[in-house]
Amino acid sequence: MRCTKKAIAVLLVLLTLSAWAAVFAAALPQDALPVEAMQTPLLHDETATPPENKDSLAPAADNNGKLRGETQDTEEQNPADPTPASQPETPAKQDPISVSLTASNVEVTVRRTIQMTAETKGFTQTPTLTWTSSDESIATVDQNGQVKGVKAGKATITVTAKSGDTTAQDSMVIFVIKLKTPIKLLLQEYQVLGYKYHFRDDYYYVNDVQCWQRGFGFGRFYDLVAPYILLEYDYVRVFFTYQDKDYMVQLWKGQYGLVFYGCEQGIYCKEHSDKQDSVFTFYKSMEQNEWPEMELTLYHDKQGNGNYVREFTRDRGTHWWCSGFKPGHLRKEEPATELRQEGSIFFKDAEMARLFADGLKVCGFGEAKDAESMELDEYNLNGSTVSFRWQNINDAETTMPIKIAGGTAFAVGGLAFIVGLLLLLAIIAMMGMGIMLFIIIL
């Protein structure tokens, strides 16, 4: 019974202390209590002391976990709703201002037409279109974008779109070709007697991968004989030695027979020799795996007024012999200064290119700082690439006395042969008449 009374007394004391603690907690400001004090009933803690300053207390949190007294500038999101809060709309991107050209075909036959179309974007108002041709002697264009071929060649068609102070421009190269006859179509697909035809610039060329000329090499003898088979051309020979082989790079331009003019560039080699080359020294065409890349363009002053017009371009490709021939006849065959030849050779390394450039210098070419600023009869060396612009230098002039002497001997010998043949025919005819006369008498 006594134990029961003691337990009841202890319980009353604990209840009294709890009541006083609750009264004390209620007397404090609500936001001054720490979160732990709100979550856990305060029984008794002899070591706990009340905070000295309410400013040092952490702010209380509400039932949603947000601290009291905080302000939120952003829109609240319901945790139960997975949809993200709405964002401000991004304005649609506007297409950049532009104009682009398309064509029904990049080739047009002489005296026929193709249609070009311009598509504009980004203009706030419908722009005005202006059409122009870089060379109206080759192709014309009207203000509806219709292109008409005038003569074989290529021209750049440009369209300019303008609206207020805003403009845009685009260009496209159009090739004008001659009528595709069966013979030219044959020469386009197949090589006949070593030659093929190219419609876009109306020229003939040699497919040097498969040509009968490759097996004959080249030497000085061929150039001396050329005039007597109606090949009147200027030429330049460049010699150099590289990796125990002697190389010869030759350039040609001039009249080829009665109906063609054109230009060539080729590279040949032979085993190195210290002996001086003679008229009968021949260089072989290089092995195919050693061929460099080349490109070649021919210009022609047709009117003699100093206006050199592009005739054709052989685009960059692997060659040992790169050539092109146009139908026509030069005003003056030799020297062929109305032709200008521009080309580049892309050698296997910079050393080989430097040796070739030094050889050009020996031939009389000057050195240009860059390919764009080259003057006549100059070259530019850029790494393993050598570009040149050739017009006036001519090694053929140094062999002219030999040609004249050879031509005189050939003419005298030919005349003697013809006279002898006529005398022989006359003797035979006289003998025939004598025989006939003898038969008649009998």
Structure confidence by residue, pLDDT tens digits, 150-163: 998 889 999 999 99
Give 300-345 pLDDT, tens digit per residue: 999 999 999 999 999 999 999 999 999 999 998 889 999 999 999 9
Q: Is 242 exposed, middle or buried (0-12, 13-18, 19+ CB in 10 A)?
A: middle
The better pLDDT of the pair 291, 181 is held by 291
Residues 87/62, Cβ–Cβ less than 8 Å = no
Residues 301/275, Cβ–Cβ less than 8 Å = no
The better pLDDT of the pair 327, 5 is held by 327
Q: Is the pLDDT of residue 426 over 70?
A: no
Q: Is the pLDDT of residue 59 over 70?
A: no
Cα(126)–Cα(124) distance, integer angstroms: 7
Look at residue 100 in the predicted model and tell me its pLDDT.
Answer: 93
Q: Say what the alpha-carbon torsion angle 167, 173, 177, 180 is, to the nearest 10 degrees.
A: -110
- Mean pLDDT, the chain, rounded, equals 80
The better pLDDT of the pair 182, 275 is held by 275
> What mean pLDDT is predicted for residues 403-430?
56
Q: Is the pLDDT of residue 75 over 60?
A: no
Would you place residue 93 in the very low, low, confident or very high pLDDT band (cuts 50, 70, 90)? Answer: low
* Longest CA span, the chain: 196
In this prediction, what percent of the chain has a pLDDT beyond 70? Answer: 68
Of 44-58, 255-269, 370-384, the range with the lowest mean pLDDT is: 44-58
Would you place residue 242 in the very low, low, confident or very high pLDDT band (cuts 50, 70, 90)? Answer: very high
Q: Is the pLDDT of residue 109 over 70?
A: yes
Give 25-49 pLDDT, tens digit per residue: 555 555 544 444 444 444 444 444 4
Look at residue 192 in the predicted model and tell me its pLDDT.
Answer: 75
Would you place residue 209 in the very low, low, confident or very high pLDDT band (cuts 50, 70, 90)? Answer: confident
Look at residue 396 in the predicted model and tell me its pLDDT.
Answer: 83
Q: Is 382 exposed, middle or buried (0-12, 13-18, 19+ CB in 10 A)?
A: middle
Look at residue 186 in the predicted model and tell me its pLDDT.
Answer: 80
- Whether a cis peptide bond, with omega within 30° of 0, leads into 335 is yes
> What mean pLDDT is predicted for residues 350-369?
97
Highest mean pLDDT pick, 29-43, 44-58, 185-199, 365-379: 365-379
Cα(55)–Cα(31) distance, integer angstroms: 10
The better pLDDT of the pair 58, 220 is held by 220
Cα(307)–Cα(300) distance, integer angstroms: 8
Would you place residue 200 in the very low, low, confident or very high pLDDT band (cuts 50, 70, 90)? Answer: confident
Listed residue (129, 134, 132, 105) closest to 118, CA to CA: 129
Q: Is 421 exposed, middle or buried (0-12, 13-18, 19+ CB in 10 A)?
A: exposed
